């Protein structure tokens, strides 16, 4: 594989959209796998109590496993909780266990409740691991876990499903990002919009695609992820689609999207 440019500074991307089922986890995992395949070191932080990213990367995430929950509590470091994936020696995951389900409420009374993940990621512990990219896979809500992710990152990546209700709720997400920008993290940039689950047979998919491109312009990646059975099957095998079926359209498009993200860098 050709090498992709290594960012001069570590890039931390939060994959967010309070809608469930839009492709957050799928995109976080497969973009991470795509970058790792090109020799970059990538850490995926599973911030969803469902633990779907942990499942897709085949890392241990039974209750009690050192996870992002213990990291948020300050009990273990990110490096201690990170597990290497069996897909690539460059691909790591801090898992989420079901213990995280209570965190949204537990965080409310904690000191520095919005910046606990940021603290964990700026600590020396992360320097040992020294990833080029960190992807934070958010839960489908705009609660404190997602706020923590937005405070810890410089970039937001928003996956948008090419379907009828895709744009519904987006204004709420954008408003929340603005709030975080003005109060907690002025450096946060919506760097990347990724269109997912594109079905070329429907007119609607093209309408949504055009609407999103008109609204967000350059932020939208040229690469669009097609709806593909291989993409949805892969996590059941504890694999990214790049490992599960490298020649498939889903795998190729995630590889292209990863390349685009790496090549265009942080600011355009």
| Residue 47 interacts with ligand ADP (CB under 6 A): yes or no | no
Q: 117, 225, 251, 258: which one contacts ligand ADP (CB under 6 A)?
A: 225
Q: Which of 18, 52, 88, 240 binds ligand ADP (CB under 6 A)?
A: 52
Q: How far is the CB of 119 from ligand ADP (least distance, A)?
A: 25
Instruction: Pick between residue 4 and residue 94 the one whose CB is nearest to Mg ion.
Output: 94
Binding mask 28-67 for Mg ion (x = CB under 5 A): ------------------------x---------------
26, 88, 219, 240: which one contacts ligand ADP (CB under 6 A)? 26
Smallest gap from residue 236 Cβ to ligand ADP (A): 9
Smallest CA-to-CA distance from 107 within 71, 82, 152, 53 is with 71
Q: Does 19 bind Mg ion (CB under 5 A)?
A: no
What phi-psi label fits residue 192: left (phi over 0), alpha (psi between -120 and 50 degrees) or beta? beta
Asked if 55 touches ligand ADP (CB under 6 A), the answer is no
Helices (H), the chain: 24-37, 52-56, 68-73, 78-81, 103-106, 116-122, 124-129, 144-152, 170-183, 203-216, 229-233, 241-244, 249-264
Q: What's the rounded Cα separation, in Å, for the pair 221 and 193?
A: 6
Selected binder of ligand ADP within 11, 38, 61, 227 (CB under 6 A): 227
Stretch that binds ligand ADP, among 20-28, 69-77, 108-116, 203-211 (CB under 6 A): 20-28
Is 163 a binding residue for ligand ADP by CB under 6 A? The answer is: no
Instruction: From the list ligand ADP, Mg ion, none, pick the one residue 95 interacts with, judged by a Cβ distance below 5 to 8 Å according to partner type.
Output: none
Rounded to the nearest 5°, which phi and psi values hold at 242? -70, -30
Choices 17-25, 36-44, 70-78, 258-266 (CB under 6 A): range interacting with ligand ADP: 17-25
Give every strand in the sheet of 42-46, ordered side by side: 83-84, 91-94, 42-46, 133-137, 11-15, 155-161, 189-196
Q: Which residues contact 149 (CB under 8 A, 6 or more apart)?
A: 14, 16, 45, 47, 117, 136, 138
- Rounded to whole angstroms, the Cα distance separating 174 from 54 reads 27
Interface contacts to ligand ADP, rule CB under 6 A: 20-26, 52, 140, 196-197, 225, 227-228, 231-232, 235, 250
């Amino acid at each position: 594989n050709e090498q992709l440019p290594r960012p001069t500074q570590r890039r931390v991307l939060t994959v967010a959209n309070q809608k469930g089922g839009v492709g957050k986890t799928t995109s976080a995992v497969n973009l991470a796998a795509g970058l790792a395949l090109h020799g970059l070191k990538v850490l995926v932080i599973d911030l969803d109590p469902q633990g779907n990213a942990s499942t897709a990367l085949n890392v241990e995430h039974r209750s009690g496993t050192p996870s992002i929950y213990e990291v948020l509590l300050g009990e273990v470091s990110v490096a201690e909780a990170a597990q290497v994936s069996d897909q690539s020696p460059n691909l790591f995951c801090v898992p989420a266990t079901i213990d995280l389900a209570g965190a949204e409420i537990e965080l409310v009374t904690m000191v520095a409740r919005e910046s606990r993940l940021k603290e964990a990621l700026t600590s020396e512990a992360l320097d040992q691991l020294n990833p080029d990219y960190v992807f934070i896979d958010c839960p489908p809500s705009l609660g404190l876990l997602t706020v923590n992710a937005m405070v810890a990152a410089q970039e937001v990546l928003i996956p948008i499903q090419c379907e009828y209700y895709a744009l519904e709720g987006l204004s709420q997400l954008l408003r929340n990002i603005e709030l975080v920008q003005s109060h907690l993290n002025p450096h946060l940039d919506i760097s990347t919009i990724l269109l997912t689950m594109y079905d070329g047979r429907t007119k609607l998919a093209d309408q949504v695609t055009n609407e999103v491109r008109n609204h967000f312009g350059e932020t939208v990646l040229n690469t669009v992820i097609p709806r593909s059975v291989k993409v949805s099957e892969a996590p059941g095998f504890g694999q990214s689609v790049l490992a599960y079926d490298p020649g498939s359209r889903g795998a190729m498009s995630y590889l292209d999207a990863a390349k685009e993200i790496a090549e265009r860098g942080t600011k355009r």
